[in-house]
Amino acid sequence: MPTFGRDEELQWLRTHALEGRAVLVTGAAGVGRTHLLGALAEQLARAGAPVGRISGGDGASAVPFAPFAPLVVEHLPHPAGQQVPDLEVFGRLPGRLVATGHVLVIDDLHLLDTASQILVAHLARAGLTLVASAPGRGTLPSALRDEVDGATGRRWSILALESLTDDSVLALAAEEAGDELAAPAGAFVVTHAEGNPRVATELVRGCEVRLTSYGAELGDLEVSPVLDELVDARLEQVGDEARRALDLLATAGRAPRDLGGSAAVDELAEAGLVEVDDTTVRPADLLVARVRRTRLTPRARRAAARDVAEAMASRREWSHVECLMRQRAGLPVDAARRLQAAERAAAAHRPEDVVELLRPVVDEVVSPHVDLMLGSALSALEHTDEAEPLLERAAAGPEVPTRVRAGQELGLLHAVRRMDPAAAVVRVEKVADTVPDPEARLPLEVDLVKWRLMAGQPPAAMPDVPDPSDDVARANTALLGAMVAALDGDPEEARREVAAGMAAAARTDAVPAHTTDLLRLSAYLADTFDGRLAEAERRAQALRRRAARTAHPSLGMWEYAVAEMSLHAGQFRRARVLASRAVRHLAWRDFTGLRPSATALLAAAVARQGRPSRAAALLEELPPDATADVKVALHVARVEAEQLARTGDATAGADRLAEVAMRAIAESHRHLGLLALDESLILSPGHPRAPARLEVLASAEDLTPVLHLLTERARALLARDADRLVSCAEQLLDLGLVGRAAHAFTAASDLLQESGRRDGSARAHRRAVLLMTETRGAAWPLPSPPPVLSAREFDVARLAASRLRSKEIAEQVGLSVRTVDNHLARVYRKLGIAGRDELAEALADLS
């Protein structure tokens, strides 16, 4: 049974159970108590322990000892038809279970009947191993609370379960669906489950699952009894008028502040079911809103849509929602109002709403502007065959701004959605030829830089454009400058361009929706290449989480960007997980052309985790000309270099990396190319061409702190200077490049050992071990990496380093003294130290 982010909790429970302890697992309904206890019971049974599983819900039968009936029958046999006396159950069953070494797993301890609760107290006093669950200590009757608190004997350990992270919820949902979720489905589950694994599971089970190239899609929700029960419990405190207002809000998604009456809205807000600001109300509990909407009959749904539309009538700022509600209610909507609403929907990144609004009138209203909006929305939804003729008509229209935007959308359609950047170059060039004004043509010139790079064509020079005179031109000029500077130039220049572009984009709504996303990506790349990894990581993770929760088209882009930097930092497992999701979500929405790069990145991460056959299979999924994009070629080279190195030819692997690295530098991807060139030096520092490659790296060392440090580390590696390697390793660690830091420490340890400096070698070895333990990084490309400490060994080692005795450690972490000593013995062996006296000094390096 998978644990979905509960691995540490499961290990903790298993250790306690095998050592004969009593544990109470607490947490809100649906947080995963039952699932975790089920996984524990399975593990213990596989380990050969006799396990008894008890469900507190069976206590509702009002029959004394009903939850324990199978155990009573098995261990206290009586002639058929004779009931076992209660006193015999209390007096004999505990001893029988203790004698057989039973572990009793009791779910919902608080629901047991009174007789069973008294029996649990007897079992605990007899020393039986117990693992039980309840919402909280306070939900237990006083007798059991005293037992848990140790008033009558041993004190129970308590494990409080918190909500799952978004990533853990997605993993749970993917297991249930049979594939990673498509972005809209992922957003639906994450936002509705809010960390509750039980809800996440019910949401997936309640929908029809359809597997697609971009992940598992979920159909309409069929509300299960479990979800009904959870929602009804949350609605107990609100009245009928408030529930009616909630139904209207669930239909609209968001609405004016006075929808349904201010008193009803205030009641919902007080119950935590809606969020309210000065003008707007929106659901706060999305699960309740979704279940309420699903419960409505089709007729009631139409009536609710009509009521919402009437409440929004004559409110211009709500025209998009009003028109949709009128349409869904079956009311007439004129073409002009549809067009205005579609423009608002497009500005809000709602292509599905644009299609719903414009499809009924596209044949009635002959307008390049309508063609552009509907074609762009259809293209975003991957309906490229339907979108292309609409965009072609718009590109032939009389208005220059419409032609330019249509040209941009045609570029996206060919380069990104059909993965044919060469075709995009040809088509966008034709549109650009119809726009003689340099400022007006600038957005197309910006896009042509991207499509030519993706197509492997010689990079175009920066277009010679006069000082832009409007915000659209300013934003596009800044985007081009930011992209070029982030990938090939000065990070500070990239940040200046990003600031200018964001300011210009904020003053107009005429730039493409993805412009600000690409500016933020340029800022992220500039910061990471400049060594500001921690700051960039925080921002990127916040943007990724927001995109995941709103199914924003930028989701795949951020997953790819963070996965790329995770690979360079040596976090290969993290890179694999994020790249896998990026592949799916870029297949769903991609305005960057990163989909083939994401597949190649996934292959590189898998290869560096030691799975060459899986990596090769992933590369076979790439389009035939994918390596024309140098980003793809770099990751393909990593896979090939790994295969060569693992067959004993690290020199050939280094040659492959260096070859593509030099191509990347020539094609204006200098930062990515230099990172790959650095990897070639790591892979084969004794290569005859290593000094020449070092020269190329050194030629850019003044550009950023990262390049300066990589150059210094490469010099030390080639010079076999162990002391300089240690110094560089510490600085690499400060920058967040943990994999390269661990490699430098290990390489230094080997050099120090060769020169007879055993103390220094041992210290560098410990640094590598502890660094990889703490960060879960990898010291690529070591064939035999240093052994890392397990999470439990690490915890015990930290406590021992603070001068606690084994008995004190055992009491604090809930282990036996013998287990603590066994953990410490393994720690000493892995760190290469003699005993506890050296432990404090070894772990002091962590800070």
Mean pLDDT, residues 131-135: 91
**Do 107 and 175 have their domain in common?**
no
Asked whether residue 392 is assigned to any structural domain, the reply reads no
Asked whether residue 679 is assigned to any structural domain, the reply reads no
pLDDT at 526: 94
Asked whether residue 288 is assigned to any structural domain, the reply reads no
pLDDT at 163: 82
What's the pLDDT tens digit per position in 585-644? 888 888 888 989 999 999 999 999 888 889 999 999 998 888 989 999 999 999 999 999
**Do 24 and 99 have their domain in common?**
yes
Query: In this structure, what DSSP letter does residue 417 have?
Result: I
**Do 42 and 143 have their domain in common?**
yes
What's the pLDDT tens digit per position in 16-53? 787 778 889 998 877 778 888 888 888 888 877 788 89
What's the pLDDT tens digit per position in 489-517? 999 999 999 999 999 988 887 777 788 99
What's the pLDDT tens digit per position in 295-346? 889 999 999 999 888 888 877 778 788 888 998 898 888 888 888 888 888 8
Do 122 and 70 contact (CB within 8 A), yes or no?
Answer: no
Mean pLDDT, residues 453-457: 75
Asked whether residue 41 is assigned to any structural domain, the reply reads yes
249 or 846: which carries more pLDDT confidence?
249
Residue 520 has pLDDT above 90, yes or no: yes
The answer to whether the peptide bond before residue 781 is cis (omega within 30 degrees of 0) is yes
Residue that is written with structure tokens 């699960």 in the block: 287
Q: Identify the weakest region by mean pLDDT among 104-118, 159-173, 297-311, 447-461.
A: 447-461
**Do 33 and 113 have their domain in common?**
yes
**Do 143 and 186 have their domain in common?**
no
pLDDT at 152: 67
Tally of domains in the chain: 3
Residue that is written with structure tokens 């935007």 in the block: 405
**Do 15 and 68 have their domain in common?**
yes
Mean pLDDT, residues 163-183: 86
What's the pLDDT tens digit per position in 394-416? 999 999 999 999 999 999 899 88
Global confidence as pTM? 0.74
Beta bridge partners of 148: none
What's the pLDDT tens digit per position in 350-404? 888 899 888 888 777 778 999 999 999 999 888 899 999 999 999 999 999 999 9
Q: For residues 461 and 493, what is the distance between their CA atoms, to the nearest angstrom?
A: 17
Rounded to a whole number, what is the distance in angstroms from the first to the last CA of the chain? Answer: 37
| CA count, 13 A, side-chain hemisphere, 289 | 24
Using pLDDT thresholds of 50, 70 and 90, give the confidence band for residue 788: confident
**Do 11 and 155 have their domain in common?**
yes
pLDDT at 785: 64
Query: ∠ CA(36), CA(39), CA(42), 5° rounding?
Result: 150
**Do 146 and 49 have their domain in common?**
yes
Do 597 and 582 contact (CB within 8 A), yes or no?
Answer: no
Asked whether residue 203 is assigned to any structural domain, the reply reads yes
pLDDT at 744: 92
- The helix/strand/coil state of 98 is helix
pLDDT at 501: 93
**Do 36 and 12 have their domain in common?**
yes
Asked whether residue 177 is assigned to any structural domain, the reply reads yes
**Do 150 and 56 have their domain in common?**
yes
Task: Give the DSSP letter string of 693-705.
Answer: HHHHHHTTTTT-H
Asked whether residue 727 is assigned to any structural domain, the reply reads no
Share of the chain above pLDDT 90, in %: 31
What's the pLDDT tens digit per position in 57-114? 776 666 778 888 888 888 887 766 566 677 777 888 888 888 888 889 999 988 888 8
Crossing angle of helices 319-328 and 298-312, rounded to 10°: 150
Residue 466 has pLDDT above 60, yes or no: no
Mean pLDDT, residues 656-683: 95
- Boundaries of domain holding 828: 791-844
pLDDT at 847: 45
Asked whether residue 424 is assigned to any structural domain, the reply reads no
**Do 69 and 183 have their domain in common?**
no
